[in-house]
Amino acid sequence: MAVSISGQGTRQAGNSASVHRGQQVAVEEEDKPKGKKKLIIIIVAIILVLAIGYLGVTKVILKPVPHYGPNDPPKNTTTYSLPSETLNLADGSLLQVTLALQLTEVANVKSIGTFDPQMENALIQDCGTWTYHRLLAANGKMLLAQQLLHSFQGILKPVDGGEQVSEVYFTAFTLQDA
């Protein structure tokens, strides 16, 4: 490409620059509405995040979750009995057991019965890992009750942030050595 030093060449370069500047001005003017759109999108996104955060805090975090413990037993509870079961233990011994579940005030008593097969299966699976001598130990029944409670709470999912089952009671417990 050859460079001309004539006045006409300089003018062309000037004209070219002015055309180039004119295109920049047009491009900048087109960018302004896009910038406003981006700003509106960002503001809407911030408002949505704040609204979701507010709902999360008020509905989940600040909502009191029922807590049950030895010094704070659940109120307005009922019990639900499971049918008697005769089970094989890990060492070939037999266990005949009847359970009652203490349900909390948030429990859906009407729907508990629909989970009987799952709870009976959990009872069979959990007890099948125990032996005669392990259950005869001083804390054997208590540990089995805790294991069953954990299994039943996994089956009967929490309602309104609180567990549906607060305790497992043995209403009949008979062991027979192999």
Q: What is the pLDDT of residues 120-150, one digit of tens each?
A: 999 999 999 999 999 999 999 999 999 999 9
**Confidence (pLDDT) at 13:** 47
Integer Cα distance of 81 and 96 in angstroms: 15
**Do 80 and 118 form a contact (C-beta atoms < 8 A)?**
no
**Confidence (pLDDT) at 10:** 46
Query: Which architecture, in CATH terms, is 78-176?
Result: 2-Layer Sandwich (3.30)
**Confidence (pLDDT) at 127:** 94
**Confidence (pLDDT) at 9:** 46
Q: What is the pLDDT along the chain (178 residues), one digit of tens a residue?
A: 455 454 444 444 445 555 555 555 554 555 556 778 888 889 999 998 888 877 776 666 555 555 555 556 556 678 999 999 999 999 999 999 999 999 988 887 788 889 999 999 999 999 999 999 999 999 999 999 999 999 999 999 888 888 889 999 999 999 999 8
Could you state, in order of their start, the residue ranges of all structural domains in the chain?
7-63, 78-176
In the three-class reduction of DSSP (H, G, I as helix; E, B as strand; rest coil), residue 87 is classed as strand
Alpha carbon distances (Å) from 106 to 115, 117, 145, 166: 16, 22, 21, 11
Q: Which helix (H) or strand (E) holds 101?
A: strand 94-103
**Do 68 and 166 form a contact (C-beta atoms < 8 A)?**
yes
